[in-house]
């Protein structure tokens, strides 16, 4: 670790009650409040921030299409490093990588990554109505339910090629629920069985309702700085060891291999290379679970198991508390919260685990974590490998 | 008139939609590398050439993967459920999203041979769909 190695020194997420911000709040209010909280635990204020990275699905097409610009105005800061990267739910894993490069280059010294959403309590959610312009004119007119239908297309192909079953996908939802039962902040904490998942309403065959993530509000913030500055701050710094990103398509029809998450393979390979670590050296894994199939494809592409082996890998509740592969330890998008773009919450949970702040759900001796975000319709992927020093 | 979202036809895609109106499935065919692609784009995605020509496809293919939507894509598709959204791999090579028109959902399967049919949803827009061959 050099003086300019990037560290995460502050995190915060918005408290939810039954999936919504109590009393209601705009996406801008949510972000301002978590920004202040994440900076405060690091002993910093907004006046220290000179790097700002924001992605959102709020306020589209304007002002949310320039999310970092809007947030700089709202917070009244004038950063010297700015990043509006929006690749869907994986944006925040990309932001960590971009901030790490900016910190290493001296382009900024204190960077903050922000997300906020009122999609459950507000009225901003319209996933059924993607415009049918440009490349989407070859998707939207046929009634593809976005995004779930796209994930169902991949699930069906994986089943066809490898014999993966609905029961195996359900194992992921069940194991994730068990983690949620250990997290007081999780929205869904009732016991869940594989039969419950299979008996839930079919949404886009072969995906059932309980294969799908929640729809909640939410907000998160992550503060990063370089190792030199981190030494003077009160929180235990979590080091960014590696990162990588890629994308293969926007419209699901262009996915190069429906049974393989190529963008995750590219992102993961780059993150492992930078970190000098492999999948066997990771203690805790946080993987975007928009749908159960997202997890299964990610596990294979990131090398935790071989191609087509994901179904067997997650069987027997291997990823549940007490299993030998702790994954999605906050209860995930499936049972904790999913405010539209979930990627920032994967990072926040990984930091909590590496700090040893996991409470009842703490993974013993967690020293390394891999976070992988997926955005769009299996469109983009970004991996971050974190470690406590 | 339909309440469903219609393609916003543009200068690049107009020939494709004009072909569909005439009952032809047109694909970009690259003279440089000899391969087809879909959807149409300025540079051949295979060899990066910019001089491809439209060519009429056979209209035959197989289902590469599919889903049966039990919840429609927004209010416009609410009354259509359950319906099949599929990726068809055309005999010429490219894949395209489409619907499979069938009264027998249980007969839908990966690798099922299909052939194109044309659904004239408005005077201007005809959607290529497929049915079991």
Of all residues in chain A, the one with the smallest CA distance to B37 is A254
pLDDT of residue A237: 98
pLDDT band at A277 (very low <50, low <70, confident <90, very high): very high
Tens-digit pLDDT profile for residues B32-84: 999 999 999 999 999 999 989 999 999 999 999 999 999 999 999 999 999 99
Burial of B22 (0-12, 13-18, 19+ CB in 10 A): exposed
Per DSSP, A363 falls in state P
Q: Are A189 and A181 in contact (CB under 8 A)?
A: yes
Does residue B77 sit at the A interface (CB-CB below 8 Å)? yes
Burial of B6 (0-12, 13-18, 19+ CB in 10 A): middle
Q: How far is A125 from chain B (nearest CA, A)?
A: 11
Strand order in the sheet with A238-247: A81-83, A51-54, A110-117, A218-226, A6-13, A238-247, A380-388, A368-375, A284-287
pLDDT, mean over chain A? 96
What does the DSSP assignment read for A128-145?
Answer: T-----GGGGGTGGGT--
Q: Are A105 and A97 in contact (CB under 8 A)?
A: no
Tens-digit pLDDT profile for residues A28-44: 999 999 999 999 999 99
pLDDT at A388 over 70: yes
pLDDT band at A2 (very low <50, low <70, confident <90, very high): confident
Backbone angles phi, psi at A154, to 5 degrees: -70, -40
Of A266, A246, A267, A268, the residue nearest A376 (C-alpha): A246
pLDDT at A62 over 80: no
Do A204 and B71 lie within an 8 Å CB cutoff? yes
Of all residues in chain A, the one with the smallest CA distance to B86 is A153
Using an 8 Å CB-CB cutoff, list chain A residues near B99. Answer: 142-143
> Omega of the bond prior to A63 within 30 degrees of 0, cis?
yes
Count of alpha carbons within 13 angstroms of residue A337, beta-carbon side: 33
Burial of B79 (0-12, 13-18, 19+ CB in 10 A): exposed
Helix and strand counts by DSSP (H, E) for chain B = 1, 7
pLDDT band at A131 (very low <50, low <70, confident <90, very high): confident
Do A138 and B7 lie within an 8 Å CB cutoff? yes
Mean pLDDT in residue range A176-202? 98
Of A373, A155, A139, A138, the residue nearest A258 (C-alpha): A155
Burial of A280 (0-12, 13-18, 19+ CB in 10 A): exposed
Cα–Cα distance for residue pair A63/A57, rounded to 1 Å: 10
Tens-digit pLDDT profile for residues A191-247: 999 999 999 999 999 999 999 999 999 999 999 999 999 999 999 999 999 999 999
pLDDT band at A130 (very low <50, low <70, confident <90, very high): confident
Domains detected in chain A: 6-124+216-237 (3.40.47.10), 145-213+243-388 (3.40.47.10)
Tens-digit pLDDT profile for residues A248-273: 999 999 999 999 999 999 999 999 99
Do B68 and A128 lie within an 8 Å CB cutoff? no
pLDDT at B133 over 90: yes
pLDDT of residue A65: 87
pLDDT at A127 over 80: no
- Ranges A129-133, A203-207, A280-284, B102-106: which has the least confidence: A129-133
Do A204 and B66 lie within an 8 Å CB cutoff? no
| Percentage of chain A exceeding pLDDT 90 | 93
Using an 8 Å CB-CB cutoff, list chain B residues near A148. Answer: 71
Do B72 and A251 lie within an 8 Å CB cutoff? no
pLDDT of residue A123: 60
Mean pLDDT in residue range A75-104? 98
pLDDT of residue A295: 98
Neighbours of A323 (CB within 10 A): 14
| Percentage of chain A exceeding pLDDT 70 | 98
Per DSSP, A268 falls in state H
**Pick from A129, A132, A143: CB nearest B80:** A143
Q: Residue A102: left if φ>0, alpha if ψ -120 to 50, beta else—which one?
A: alpha
pLDDT at A126 over 80: no
Q: How far is B132 from chain A (nearest CA, A)?
A: 17
Count of alpha carbons within 13 angstroms of residue B1, beta-carbon side: 1
Cα–Cα distance for residue pair A135/A138, rounded to 1 Å: 6
Q: Taking CA A150 as the corner, what is the angle to CA B99 and CA A219, rounded to the nearest 5 degrees?
A: 145
Domains detected in chain B: 14-132 (2.40.50.840)
Distances in whole angstroms, Cα of residue A146 to Cα of each of A8, A93, A376: 33, 22, 9
pLDDT of residue A64: 83
**Pick from A139, A143, A253: CB nearest B69:** A143
Cα–Cα distance for residue pair B37/B46, rounded to 1 Å: 8
Tens-digit pLDDT profile for residues A309-359: 999 999 999 999 999 999 999 999 999 999 999 999 999 999 999 999 999
pLDDT at B1 over 70: no
Does residue B98 sit at the A interface (CB-CB below 8 Å)? yes
Tens-digit pLDDT profile for residues A12-29: 999 999 999 999 999 999
């Amino acid at each position: 670790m050099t003086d300019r190695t990037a560290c995460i020194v502050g995190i915060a997420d918005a408290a939810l009650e039954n999936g919504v911000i109590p009393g209601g709040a705009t996406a801008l209010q949510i972000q301002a409040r978590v920004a202040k909280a994440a900076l405060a635990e690091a002993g910093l204020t907004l006046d220290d921030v000179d790097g700002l990275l924001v992605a959102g699905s709020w306020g589209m097409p304007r002002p949310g299409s320039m999310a970092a610009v809007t947030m700089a105005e709202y917070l009244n800061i004038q950063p010297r490093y700015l990043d509006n990267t929006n690749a869907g739910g994986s944006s925040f894993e990309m932001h960590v990588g971009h901030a790490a490069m900016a910190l290493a280059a001296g382009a900024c010294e204190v960077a903050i990554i922000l997300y906020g959403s009122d999609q459950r309590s507000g009225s901003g959610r319209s996933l059924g109505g993607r415009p049918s312009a440009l490349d989407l004119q070859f998707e939207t007119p046929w009634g593809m339910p976005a995004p779930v239908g796209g994930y169902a297309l991949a699930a069906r192909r994986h089943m066809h090629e490898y014999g993966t079953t609905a029961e195996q996908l359900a194992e992921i939802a069940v194991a994730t629920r068990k983690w949620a039962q250990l997290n007081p902040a999780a929205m869904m904490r009732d016991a869940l069985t594989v039969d419950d998942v299979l008996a839930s309403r079919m949404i886009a065959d072969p995906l059932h309702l309980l294969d799908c993530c929640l729809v909640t509000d939410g907000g998160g913030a992550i503060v990063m700085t370089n190792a030199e500055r981190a030494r003077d701050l009160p929180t235990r710094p979590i080091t960014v060891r590696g990162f990588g990103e890629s994308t293969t398509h926007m419209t699901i029809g262009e996915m190069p291999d429906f049974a393989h998450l190529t963008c995750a393979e590219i992102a993961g390979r780059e993150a492992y290379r930078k970190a000098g670590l492999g999948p066997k050296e990771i203690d805790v894994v946080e993987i975007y679970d928009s749908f159960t199939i997202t997890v299964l494809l990610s596990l294979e592409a990131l090398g935790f198991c071989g191609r087509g082996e994901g179904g067997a890998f997650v069987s027997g509740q291997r990823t549940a508390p007490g299993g030998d592969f702790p994954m999605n330890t906050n209860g995930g998008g499936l049972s904790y919260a999913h405010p539209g773009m979930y990627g920032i919450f994967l990072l926040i949970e990984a930091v909590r685990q590496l700090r040893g702040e996991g409470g009842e759900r703490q993974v013993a001796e967690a020293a390394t974590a891999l976070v992988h975000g997926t955005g769009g319709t299996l469109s983009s992927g970004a991996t971050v490998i974190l470690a406590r020093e | 008139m339909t309440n469903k979202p219609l393609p916003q036809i543009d200068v690049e895609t107009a020939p494709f939609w004009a072909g569909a109106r005439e009952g032809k499935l047109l694909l970009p065919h690259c003279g440089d590398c000899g391969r087809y692609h879909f959807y149409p784009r300025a540079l051949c995605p295979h060899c990066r050439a910019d001089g491809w020509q439209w060519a009429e496809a056979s209209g035959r293919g197989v289902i590469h993967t599919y889903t049966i939507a039990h919840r429609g894509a927004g209010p416009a598709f609410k009354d259509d459920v359950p319906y099949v959204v599929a990726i068809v791999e055309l005999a010429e090579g490219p894949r395209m999203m489409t619907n499979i028109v069938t009264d027998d959902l249980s007969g839908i399967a990966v690798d099922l041979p299909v052939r194109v049919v044309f659904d004239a949803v408005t005077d201007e827009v005809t959607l290529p769909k497929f049915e079991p061959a």
